[in-house]
Structure 1
Amino acid sequence: MRKLRSGTVGRRFTILYAAGFLGSGIVLLTLTYVMSGSRVTRGGPAQPPGRSGSTADQRVHALERQLSDVHTQQNRQLLVGSLIALAVMVGVSLLLGRILAVRVLRPLRLITAATRRISADNLHQRLAVAGPVDEVKELADTVDGLLERLEASFVAQRRFVGNASHELRTPLATMRASLDVAVAKPEAAAQTVALAGRLRTELDRVDHLLDGFLVLARAQHGTLPDRTPVSLGRLAREALTAAPDLAAKKLTVDDVASSDSWTPGSAALLSRMVENLVDNAIVHNDEGGWIRICTGHGGVEALLVVETGGRVLDQEQVDRLTRPFERLGADRTGSERGSGLGLSIVAAIVAAHGGRLDLLARPEGGLRAQVLLPAAGEDA
C-alpha cells in the first residue's frame, strides 16, 4: 500500500473519516450510558397487620443496596468496555479510512502519473481514461483537450521556425549574389567594396542564426532516426581542431578527452552540441585564458565537461543561459559575436537525447558546462 504523505487529500480524507466515526461513537456511548443509568423502583408488598416490619424493612434495604452496587459496577464495566471498544474502532476506522482513501483517489493518482510522463516530446499521448462519466473522467477529458491544444501549438511553432528558416535562405542567397556582382565590376568604387564586406559579415551572422533556428527546431522535435554510437571524445578533439579563434586568443587547452565516452544519438546534432560548447568557451573567454575539456564513462552515463576561467558569475543568471537570446550581459568579451542561441541549442540537443545539461558558475570564476548522456559501448 502506498504511503500517504502529510498534507495530501488521502490523509485529510482518512482523518475526516476517523473523526466522524469517533464523534458518532462518543454520542452513541453517551446515550447508552445515560439510558443504562435509569432505574425503575417498584414498591414492596404490604406488611401483614399486627407484625413488625423492622426485620423485613432491613432486608429490603439491604437488597436495594446490593442491587445498587451491582448496577453501579455494571455501569462502570459497561463504560470501560465501551471506551476500549471505541479506542479499538478508532484504529479500525483509520485503517478503513486509509484503504477507502487509496481506493477513491486511485484514479486521480493514475491521471497524475500519466500526465507527468507526458512532455514536449510526446504530447501526442493521451490519458484516455475509460469508465462512467463522472468527475474523474471529466477531469481526464479536460486534460486530454489541453494536451491536444498544446500539441497543435508546439507543432505549429516548430513548423513555422523550420519553414521560415528555409524560406529566408533564398533572399540571403540573392543578396550574396548581388553583392558579388557589384564587387566584380571592373570599376567598382572603394566604398562599394567596403560596404559589400560589411554586408557579407552581417549576412554570415543571419545565415548562422537561421542555421541555429533549424538545428533548434530539429532538436526540439525529438525525432532522431539516425541514432548511432558516437564518441564524445572524438567530437571534442574535432571541435578544438576546427576552432578558428583558439590560437588568436592565446588560450591554453587542457584536453583530457577519453575515447571510450560513447553515447547513442545523432552524430550531426551531437557534433553541433560539442561545437557550440567549445565555441562558447572560446568566445566568452579572456585573452590568454584557459579551457579544460574532459570526457568520461561512468556506468550508464557518458560525461562531457567544458570548463573555462574568468570572472565570478552569478548562478541565477547562468541558469537562464539555456533560454534563446539570453546572455550574461553586454560587457562579456565577444558577446557581440554570438547569436544568443548557442547554449539553448545545446540544451535542446541534450534533452532530445535523454540527457541533462548542468551550467555551474565556478566559485573561483568562470563557467562549468557538464553534459550527461545515456552511455553506449563502442561495440553498440
Structure 2
Amino acid sequence: MMIRGWTFRVRLTALYGGLFLLVGAALLTVTYLLLAGALDRQQVSPGVVYNGGVAVAAPAKAGGAAKIVNSEDVDAIAKKEAFAKQVQLDLREKTLNSLLQWGALALGGVAVVGVYLGWLVAGRTLRPIQQITATARRVADRNLHERIALGGPRDELRELADTFDGMLERLDASFDGQRRFVANASHELRTPLAINRTLLEVAMGRPDAPPQLCQLGDTLLEVNARHERLIDGLLTMARSEQQVTDPVPVDLAEVAGHVLDQTTSPGVEVRHELRPATTSGDPVLLERLTQNLVENAVRYNASGGWVHVMCARDGDRTRLSVTNTGPVVAAYEIPGLFEPFRRLTDRVGSARGTGLGLSIVRSVARAHGGDVHAVPRDGGGLVVQVTLPAN
C-alpha cells in the first residue's frame, strides 16, 4: 500500500538502488564461491606447519632405497597430517568469514552510493517530463500560446515534447479560428438587427399605425433586443477568451459600487459590503463580470428576497462574492450553469436571459488569472464567488 504513494522518482531510485544491491550481492557470491574452491584445492603440507614453513623430505639410504619407519613414526605423521588439515579448515573458515564480513560492509556502502546515484539519475531523467508537466499546467490555464521547446538529443522524450507542441499548435489555431468566427459573425449580425430595430421603430411611430401593428412591433422589438443581448454576450465571451494584454489597476469595490448604482431591483433588497480590493485587468470586462453577477442575482430571485454583494481583499487574492435568495438549486446542477446557453428551466425569468451570463463571468475571471465558484445557499439561491489575483 505504501508503494502506491511513492513518486515516480522515488520508485526509480528504489529500482536503481535495488539493482546496485542485487549486482553487488551476486558479485560477492561469485567471489565467495571462487575463493572457497581455491582454498579447497590448496592443501597445507604438514612439513610447512612443523618446520617453520619449510617442507623437509624424509632422508633416503644410499642406493635410493626408502627409509623404513616404525609404527611410532606412522602415528606422528598421521597426527601431523590431521593437524595440518585442521589448520587448513580453520584458515578456510576464517578467510571466508572475513570475506563475508567485509564484503557485506562493502555491499552496504555500494547500496548507499547506488541509491544516491539513482536519485540523481532519476532526477535528471525526469527533468524533461517535469518541463512537459509544467507547460501542460500553464496550458490548462488557457494559455495555448505556450510551447515546451525541449532541447537535447532526439530521443523518446524529445519526440513526446515535439508531438505535444504540435498538438498545442493545432489547438491554438483552432481556438483562434473559433474566436475570430464568433467575433466576425457577431459583428455581421449586429448590422441587420440594428436595421430591424430602426424599421420597427419608424413603422410604429407613424401616426396612422394600427394598434395591431404597434402590438406586433413591440413583440418584435423585444425579440430583437434579446438577440442583440445575445450577440453582445457572444462578443464579450470571444474577447474574454484571450489573456488580458494591457492590464491596468482596478478596484473591484469601485466597479461593484458603480454597477449597484445602475441596478434596478424591484421587490428585491440589495445589500453590499464593499472594501478596497484592487486587482489588474481590463476595467470593461471586470465591470461586465460584476454586472452579470448582480443582474443574475436580481433576476433569479424570489419576491421580497435580497441580494448581498461583498468585495474584499484576502491576502494575495481579491474576492467578489454575490449571494441571493431564490429557488433551491441542487449542487449537481451548478456546473451546468457555467456552460453557454445552459439555464435551469425552473428558475424565474429564465426566458429573459441569454444563457451566457455565468459563462461570461467564468471566461473573464480565467482571462484575469482567477476563477469562479458557486455553491447552493441554505434555504434557496446561490453563493457565487470570484477570486482574482490582488494587485
Asked whether the 8 Å contact 2:327–2:347 carries over to 1, the reply is no
Amino acid across the alignment from 2:273: V
What is the distance in 1 between the residues matched to 2:375 and 2:192? 40
**Could you say if the C-alpha distance between residues 322 and 27 of structure 1 is closer, same or farther in structure 2, counting changes exceeding 3 Å?**
same
**Distance between the aligned counterparts of 1:218 and 1:115, measured in 2?**
23
Q: Does residue 1:89 correspond to 2:110, yes or no? A: yes
1:372 and 2:387 are equivalent in the alignment: yes
Aligned match for 1:55, one of 50, 56, 76: 76
How many equivalent residue pairs? Answer: 367
What is the CA distance between 1:285 and its match in structure 2? 0.6
Q: Which amino acid aligns with 1:154?
A: F
Distance of 1:364 and 1:70 partners within structure 2: 90
Deviation for aligned residue 1:75: 1.5
Name the SS of the counterpart of 1:357 in structure 2: strand
* SS of residue matched to 2:144: coil
Cα deviation code 1:233-284 (max 9, x no counterpart): 232233223223x12xx112222223x2333322211111111111010011
Q: CA contact under 8 A between 2:301 and 2:327: conserved in structure 1?
A: no
The equivalent residue for 2:337 is 321
1:360 matched residue in structure 2: 375
Decide whether aligned partners of structure 1 residues 95 and 5 sit closer, same or farther in structure 2, where only a CA change above 3 A counts.
Answer: farther
Deviation at 1:134, TM superposition (A): 2.0
CA distance in 2, matches of 1:257, 1:42: 99
* TM-score normalised according to structure 2 size: 0.86
Instruction: Determine the structure 1 residue equivalent to 2:271.
Output: 254
SS, match of residue 155 in structure 1 = helix
Q: CA deviation at 1:7?
A: 4.3
TM-aligned CA deviation for residue 337 of structure 1: 1.4
Which residue in 2 is equivalent to 1:129? 150
Among 236, 241, 258, the alignment partner of 1:220 is 241
* Within-5 A mapping of 1:292-303: 292-303=308-319
Greater shift in the superposed pair: 74-83 or 44-53: 44-53
The answer to whether the Cα contact below 8 Å between 2:45 and 2:81 also exists between their aligned partners in 1 is no
CA distance in 1, matches of 2:379, 2:113: 60
Task: Please say if 1:279 is aligned against 2:276.
Answer: no
Deviations 1:71-101 (CA, angstroms, capped at 9, x unpaired) = 1122222223222322332222122111111
TM-score (norm 1): 0.88
Counterpart-to-counterpart distance in 2, 1:261 and 1:113: 30
Q: Indicate the residue corresponding to 1:234 in structure 2.
A: 254
2:336 aligns to what SS in structure 1?
Answer: coil
Match of 1:18 in 2: 17
Quick one: which amino acid aligns to residue 361 of structure 1? Answer: P
How far apart, in 1, do the equivalents of 2:320 and 2:4 lie? 38
Q: 1:180 to 1:27 in 2, by over 3 A?
A: same
Aligned counterparts, 1:17-166, within 5 A: 17-38=16-37, 39-40=40-41, 41=43, 48-51=67-70, 52-119=73-140, 121-166=142-187
Residues 16, 228 of structure 1: alpha-carbon distance in 2 compared, 3 angstrom cutoff:
closer
Q: Which has the larger radius of gyration?
A: 2
Alpha-carbon distance in 1 for matches of 2:380, 2:98 = 78
CA contact (8 A) 1:5 1:11 kept: no
Find the aligned partners of 2:304 and 2:224 in 1 and give their Cα distance: 30
Relative distance call for 1:152 and 1:57 in structure 2 (3 A) is: same
Find out whether 1:333 has 2:348 as its counterpart: yes
Deviation at 1:42, TM superposition (A): 7.2
Whole-Å Cα distance in 1 between the matches of residues 261 and 280 of structure 2? 23
- 5+ long unaligned stretches in structure 1: none
Q: Distance in 2 between matches of 1:305 and 1:27?
A: 66
What is the DSSP-based 3-state SS (H/G/I as helix, E as strand, rest coil) of the residue aligned with 1:66?
helix
- 1:332-351 aligned within 5 A: 332-351=347-366
Deviation at 1:172, TM superposition (A): 0.7
Instruction: Give secondary structure in 2 for the equivalent of 1:221.
Output: coil
TM superposition shift of 1:206: 0.3
2:279: which partner in 1? 263
How far apart, CA to CA, are the structure 1 residues paired with 2:251 and 2:236? 20
- Alpha-carbon distance in 2 for matches of 1:291, 1:173: 34
Give 5+ residue unaligned stretches, structure 2. Answer: 47-56, 59-65
RMSD (Å) for aligned C-alpha atoms? 2.4
**Does the 8 A contact of 2:9 with 2:119 survive in 1?**
yes
Aligned-residue sequence identity (percent) comes to 39
Q: CA deviation at 1:43?
A: 7.7
Q: CA deviation at 1:137?
A: 1.9
2:193 is equivalent to residue 172 of structure 1: yes
8 Å contact kept, 1:251–1:287 = yes
Q: C-alpha separation between the residues in 2 aligned to 1:373 and 1:48? A: 111
User: Separation in 2 of the partners of 1:24 and 1:276?
Assistant: 67
Q: Structure 1: how far apart are the matches of 2:350 and 2:104?
A: 77
Separation in 2 of the partners of 1:42 and 1:303?
A: 90
| Structure 1 residue 306, shift from structure 2 partner | 0.9
Deviations 1:288-327 (A, max 9, x none): 1111112223333332211112344222321332221222
| Aligned counterparts of 1:232 and 1:323: Cα–Cα separation in 2 | 24
Name the structure 1 match of 2:52.
none
Work out the CA distance in 2 between the residues paired with 1:215 and 1:321. Answer: 17
